[in-house]
Structure 1
Amino acid sequence: MYDADEIETLYGLPAHDFPAPDEPVDGLPAADSVAWRVSSRLYEVDEEWTKAFGRFCAGVDTTRVRALVVGAWGAAYEGDSSEVVETLVAARDRFPALRAIFLGDISMEEAEISWISQSDVTPLLAAYPALEEFGVRGGSGLEFTPLRHEGLRRLEAQAGGLPAAMVRGVGASDLPALEHLDLWLGTPDYGGDSEVADLEPILSGARLPKLRHLALRNSEMQDAVAAAVAAAPVVARLEVLDMSMGVLTDEGVGALLGGQPLTHLRRLDLHHNYLSEPMRDRLRQVLEPAGVELELERGDADEDTEDDGTVWRYVAVGE
C-alpha cells in the first residue's frame, strides 16, 4: 500500500499499541504521553474490538487520554465501523481530554484500503466538540453529514475512492478552525464518484477561513482538479497545496501555472505525476526563485500502453 501505512504519530504523540489480552499491562506509558492504538488484532487473538476497548478503558486513565487510534475492528471488509462509532460516542464522558481520533488504522494485510467498510462518522465529531484532529481510512460506506464544529483543525480522509456525498458533506460544513484538509479523491473503480463541481464549496474557502494546507490528491481527475484550483479563491491564503498521488499531466500543470500566482506558497506537492521534463523545468523556473519547495518525484506513477496506443495511468492508491 502506497502512502497509507500504519499511523506512527497522532496529535504530535507517538502511537502505542494497547496490549493484547495475553500481554502484560505493567509499565504502560502515561495516559497523556502517547496516541493509544486499540485494535482487535484480527489475525493474532480472538477478541472483538469493543472488548479490547473495554479493557483499555479499565487499564488506562481515560480522563487524560489525548489521542486515540482505532485499528482493525475484526474483518473490516465484512463489518462496518458503526459499532465502533457508537461505542466511542457512548464513552464521550470518559474522555474529556481527547483531542484526536483516527478511525481505521488498518494495514493492507488486514484489509485493502478500498475493502474497509466505514459508516457515518459525523456522530464522533458531534460527540467530541473539543476534537482538533480527525482522520479516517476507507471510503466504502463512508458518510459525512454537514455540521458545524468549532474546534477541528485537521481533517483527513484516506481512500481509494471517496464518495461524492463525503466530499459534499465536508464542503457544506462550517469548520471555522480548520487549518489542514486532506482528501484522497480516488477513482470511480473504487467508489470515487465525486466531480470537480463537488469541490467548489471547498475551493471557495467561504466556510474555511483558517485553511492553510489543502490536499486534493490521489485523483483520477487530477488535471481537472488542477484547472479548478487555478482560479480558486482559497488558494491565496494557502501555505501548502498538495495535488500528489494522482493522474496529473502537463495539461493540469499548464492550467495551474496559467492561473493565479502560486509564488506565495511554502510548498507545492505534486509527487506521483505524469509530467514531462520540460514541464518540470517550467515549474522550477517559475516557483523555485520565489522559495517554493517543490515535490515533483514521479515515484510509483505507472502507465500501460495498449497495442492500439491507448495509455492507462493510475492513481497511487486504488484497491
Structure 2
Amino acid sequence: MAPAALPTTLLHTIKTHTAPINCLSFSSSGGTYIISGSSDRQIHLSRTEPSSQSQSQPSPTTTTTTTKPIQKYTSHGYAVLDISVTQDNTKFASASGDRSGPFLWDINTSDSTIRRFGGNSPSPHTSRITCLKFTAEDNLLVSGSDDRSVRLWDCKSRDGRPLMVLEDAKDGVSALVCWDKEVIVGSTDGRVRGYDIRMGRCVSDVMPGPVTSLSLSRDGRTSLVGCLDGRLRLMDRENGGCLRAFPPEGKMGEGGGYRNESLRLQSALAVNDSVVISGSESDGWVRGWNVVSGKQIANVEVSEKVVSVVKWREGSEVESRRGVWAAAGADGMVRIYG
C-alpha cells in the first residue's frame, strides 16, 4: 500500500479578517462550514468550499476567493483565541481575554451571545481564556486559562458557578481536548494531564518543553503534542510513551526548516491519522510528516507570514466529500487545500 499523501491543491482563500487568525474550527461531522477567530476580536462563519466545488474534484488551477463571511460575531472585547462547535452545529463557544468567561453563541444569531459562563460567578477565570472544548454529549463546556486553571461549566444549568475547577497546573493552561468522560490538558509547565472526571483521577505525563498544541487520534488512543522544544510528538496515552517525534529525535537538521520556540502553533492529525501537519515559526510553510515512517512528505508554501493553526476535515466516499485542510495565521487569511 502506498504511503498516505497530503492533498496540496489550493481550493479557496477566505479574506474576511483584518488581523491575525488564532483559531479555526470546521463544522462538526464533516460539515461544509468553517469558523475563524481573530485578533480583530471577531468570529467569522464561512463556507469551506463554494458549493460548486464541494462535490467535485478540482482542476490543478481552480481556486476561489471569498471576501465576505456568511455571518460575523462581534461581542468579544479582546482577541479570540479558541472556538468549539457542538455536534449538531447549532451552537459554538469561544474563548478570549474577556474575563467574563467563555461565550456561548447560537450559530444563526450574530448580534448577541446566548450565555457568558462565569459572568456573574463568584469563581470566574481571572486571566485570559486560551482554550475550550465541549464534552462528547455537549452538556459540559471545559475552559482553560492563563490563570493556571481548568473549569467545567454546565451548559444546561443557569447556575453561574463552574461544576468543577481543576488547579493542578503550575503555569498557564494552553491546550485541551475531551474524550468520552476524560479531559486532557496541556500547559506551559511542560505537563499533559489526563483527568477521568467520573473516577476523580489525574494522570500526568512530563513533556520536554512547554505544551502549546494538543489533539487526539480518532480512536483516542494517541495524542499529538506540540512543545516549545521544536518538536511534535505522537504519544501513547495508555503508557505515556513517545511513539514518534517530528522531526525525528536527534535529527533537527532533517526537520525541513520546522521551528517552534516561542509561539503557539496548533498542529493536526490528517488523512485518517496517517499524516501530521503543522506550521512553523521559521516561515509561512506547512509541513507534513508520515506518522509511520516519521519522514517529511509535504512542504506547502501557504503564506509569507507564520501559519499558526491548521485543521483537517476528513473526507467521505458515501457523501462524495473529499478530505480538506485549512491553514491560517499572521496574514489574517484562511486557505483551504484539498
Higher strand proportion, which one? 2
